[in-house]
Structure 1
């Protein structure tokens, strides 16, 4: 019995060493630093979009980016679009609904207006379950899912900005 436990532990350690040796990284760990120190944020703060803009601002600031209107780069957030569709069939019983949040964005140099990323978008999806007996709680479930989707869209946007080459941007 002890030999089996030892071999299991040995196999686990070997697997961990092999995965670390081949460059495997857990999501979010060992991610490259964001090369953008200052960024101007351009977005209309109206309706549900204001919550998404606020979430993007918080995510950028927590990553060490200073939001400043005089920054050399501008992040332009477009009109966020939310779509919902029913995945299950029939009117009775549980219904599975999918919500998709799409956030268009672009990044441009302020000095000459050139786009470093033009007409890009991040998309986040999720599902929730409801039934015909829970019509009042459907809105609460949808709003809870939208909160998660906003967080996810802000994280995805940050990942896209991590991959942006900012070597050609002057920082004065």
Structure 2
């Protein structure tokens, strides 16, 4: 009986050792789970959020969730306001033909700006987040096309929210708690 217990403990030890080795190997090559690396939190603290789509739009919900995950508190009296203009979808066909499967591209553009409430100055003005993806459709499966389009829209909202958080990470408070861009940030 003691020999069987030793084998079970040995297996558990070897499995744990293999798991730890895998984690170290992945960490060594730079792998990290999304949202867990350096910069996964924003130092902005508080933001007011103004969205053209309103508080119940899918984009607003995704951005709110990402901001909360990044440690930002949403408060209407915050010193900074994130303004989201109306998002726009553009769809285009990538493959042409009468029969068979067709590839379609869907592009989401989200105009945004970051504004100081006290003096109305823009820290980022007329910026855009642009994300795109593709889906496949067939002319004889119209319902499937609509389902694929809606699934891709949801994914694009999530990607746009993450990209916006990445852009907001370039804005850091200085010693006087005034927020400034840390460097020239490319728009996308």
TM-score of the superposed pair, with normalisation by structure 1:
0.80
Tell me what 1:52 maps to.
59
Give the number of the structure with larger relative contact order, counting CA–CA contacts within 8 Å between residues 6 or more apart. Answer: 1
Further displaced range: 159-168 or 116-125: 159-168
CA displacement at 1:27 relative to structure 2: 6.8
Counterpart-to-counterpart distance in 2, 1:122 and 1:159? 10
Counterpart-to-counterpart distance in 2, 1:105 and 1:169? 22
SS in 2 for 1:165: strand
- Structure 1 gaps of 5+ residues are 1-12
Tell me what 1:35 maps to.
43
Further displaced range: 140-149 or 129-138: 129-138
Counterpart-to-counterpart distance in 2, 1:69 and 1:136? 41
- Structure 2 gaps of 5+ residues are 1-21, 180-188
Name which one, 1 or 2, has greater alpha-carbon Rg. Answer: 2
Which of 107, 116, 121 in structure 2 is aligned with 1:109?
116
CA displacement at 1:136 relative to structure 2: 1.6
Which of 92, 95, 113 in structure 2 is aligned with 1:85?
92
RMSD: 2.6
Counterpart-to-counterpart distance in 2, 1:109 and 1:122? 20
Count of matched residue pairs: 155
TM-score of the superposed pair, with normalisation by structure 2:
0.73
Counterpart-to-counterpart distance in 2, 1:45 and 1:89? 34
Counterpart-to-counterpart distance in 2, 1:166 and 1:113? 17
Tell me what 2:152 maps to.
145
CA displacement at 1:61 relative to structure 2: 1.0
Which of 136, 156, 160 in structure 1 is aligned with 2:167?
160
